[in-house]
Amino acid sequence: MIAVIGAGPAGLSAAATAAERGEKVLLIDSSPRLGGQYWRHLPSNWNDDRSLHYDFSKAQALFDRVLTNPLITRHSNAHVWQAEKNDGVFTLFVVRDGVEEKVIADKVILATGAYDRSIPFPGWTLPGVMTPGAAQAMLKSHGVLVGKRVVVAGTGPFILPVAAGLADSGAEIVGLYEANNPIRWLLNLHGFILNPSKIAEALYYMKKLRKHRISIRFGKSVDSTSKGFATVNGKRVDCDVVAVGWGFVPDLSLAGILGAQLKVDGDGTVVVAVDSHQETSVPGLFAAGESTGIGGSTLSMIEGVIAAGGKGKFARWRAQVFARGLQRVYPVPTNWQAKLNDQTIICRCEEVTLGDICSSVDELGAENGRTAKLFTRAGMGLCQGRVCGRNVSEIVAAKRAEKVHDSERMGGAQRPTAGPISLGELGDGLQKKF
């Protein structure tokens, strides 16, 4: 049996492809519904949701293939919290609707996606400041509009659909700020030539934005926020919500637990290393989608197909060229640290400030993110450094006029557990003789 973990574009494609090739598939996802991050939707009215999704028909087709194939079993509300491989067989420990189960599989396809990358600035922990992903998720899966007057900022193509989606649902977008300059698009011309459908997608969002009279301000970003307004390149902008995102961070917990080789991508993002079949360094363990490198839903779907044994290497190459181009067009500006002051919180779970981290370096001799964490508790809280880990490493390295070591970046992406489990459920596993 093949276990596919994650039911986003990559996992759905992998599950459908594998089942159509005659394999038995178990599709496990922690959300209540299929779709992952991108195709998140409300429980009942997926059909009324069209306006929130650009490639709705693609999603619908995949959902249909997955839902109608008798070889696919689905486990929703099911979180793989731990995994092992012994004697060539994978054991997944899954908490489904609060109860732990064991799943045995010969092959595992990880399609666990990514989450938004946050970068701190003064005021980023105030209520009303969030990531574009969070704003979009509220809308797509709960039908909740996060605010009336919204600033959307950061970098990358993803901020456009978020602004468009919020505007479509009745929010006033008081500012849409892209930190990078449009001239950088020249860096990805070949990506567009190879992927003309991406031009159509970009135009689709541009048209929507124009309809709502939203213009993109380039080269600008949020300096700080206070109650009721944001400061953007020195100017005050009144608003009640600020959504700022800086690209994505792949979720590598399970890959790390199973011992798969990780690697550092060009822009410092840690990803799972895979071969041309999407197989990781652990035989039988495959990875597809954002966990192998941020590339968007099209590339994720292609990778899902290949991971399940299907074809598409040329299409993958084309989409990868586009994805790499995006990395060049939308780097995170290197000056983000200049906006911070000593009181700025860097780790929000443990309320550790920039001043705390700097004194751990100056006074206690912290030399890297790990020691700074041991001395300040940055990254020891609820999110376990998912939000701040990379930022702490970069702050410490900058203070020491060094670069973050690849080994530290990869170490920082490892998590000993891949999700929550209660102590009661964990202990009860002894009786269940797992």
Tell me which residues touch ligand FAD (CB under 6 A). 5-11, 28-31, 36-38, 79-80, 111-116, 133, 136-137, 158, 161, 248, 251, 254, 289-290, 296-297, 300, 418-419
Cβ–Cβ < 8 Å for 229, 236: yes
Stretch that binds another protein, among 172-180, 243-251, 273-281, 425-433 (CB under 8 A): 425-433
Dist CA 309 CA 425 (whole Å): 36
Among 327, 368, 391, 393, binds another protein (CB under 8 A): 368
Helix axis angle, 389-399 relative to 369-376, nearest 10°? 110
Among 1, 282, 315, 374, binds another protein (CB under 8 A): 374
Q: How many residues bind another protein (CB under 8 A)?
A: 35
Query: Could you tell me which residues are beta bridge partners of residue 263?
Result: 271
User: Residue 31 is encoded by which pair of tokens?
Assistant: 């959300």
User: In terms of DSSP H, where are the helices of 287-342?
Assistant: 296-307, 313-329
Q: Which among another protein, ligand FAD, none contacts residue 365 (Cβ within 5 to 8 A by kind)?
A: another protein
Dist CA 115 CA 97 (whole Å): 23
Cβ–Cβ < 8 Å for 1, 25: yes
Backbone angles phi, psi at 26, to 5 degrees: -115, 120
Nearest of 89, 105, 125, 130 to residue 5 by alpha carbon:
105
The string of DSSP codes covering 114-139 is EEE-----TTTTSTTEE-HHHHHHHH
Tell whether residue 421 is a contact of another protein (CB under 8 A): yes
Tell whether residue 426 is a contact of another protein (CB under 8 A): yes
Query: Looking up tokens 């702050």, which residue turns up?
Result: 395
Q: Which among another protein, ligand FAD, none contacts residue 348 (Cβ within 5 to 8 A by kind)?
A: none
Helix axis angle, 369-376 relative to 354-362, nearest 10°? 110
Q: Which among another protein, ligand FAD, none contacts residue 416 (Cβ within 5 to 8 A by kind)?
A: another protein
- Residue number, 303 or 408, with CB nearest to another protein: 408
Stretch that binds another protein, among 124-132, 330-338, 339-347, 423-431 (CB under 8 A): 423-431
Binding string to another protein for residues 216 to 255, with x set by CB under 8 A, is what? Answer: ----------------------------------------
Query: Could you tell me which residues are beta bridge partners of residue 222?
Result: 232
Q: Which among another protein, ligand FAD, none contacts residue 384 (Cβ within 5 to 8 A by kind)?
A: another protein
- Residue number, 328 or 405, with CB nearest to another protein: 405
Cβ–Cβ < 8 Å for 110, 287: yes
Tell whether residue 422 is a contact of another protein (CB under 8 A): yes
Sites for another protein among residues 251-270 (CB under 8 A)? 257
Among 183, 364, 402, 403, binds another protein (CB under 8 A): 364
Dist CA 395 CA 407 (whole Å): 16
Q: Which among ligand FAD, another protein, none contacts residue 82 (Cβ within 5 to 8 A by kind)?
A: another protein
- Per DSSP, 373 falls in state H
Tell whether residue 357 is a contact of another protein (CB under 8 A): no
Query: Could you tell me which residues are beta bridge partners of residue 177?
Result: 153, 217
User: Residue 204 is encoded by which pair of tokens?
Assistant: 């689709």
Q: Which among ligand FAD, another protein, none contacts residue 10 (Cβ within 5 to 8 A by kind)?
A: ligand FAD
Among 54, 115, 286, 375, binds another protein (CB under 8 A): 375
Dist CA 282 CA 85 (whole Å): 9
> What is the rounded radius of gyration, in angstroms, for the C-alpha atoms of the chain?
21
Tell whether residue 359 is a contact of another protein (CB under 8 A): no
**List of residues contacting another protein (CB under 8 A):** 82, 84, 93, 257, 350, 360, 363-368, 370-371, 374-375, 377, 380-382, 384, 415-417, 420-424, 426-430, 434
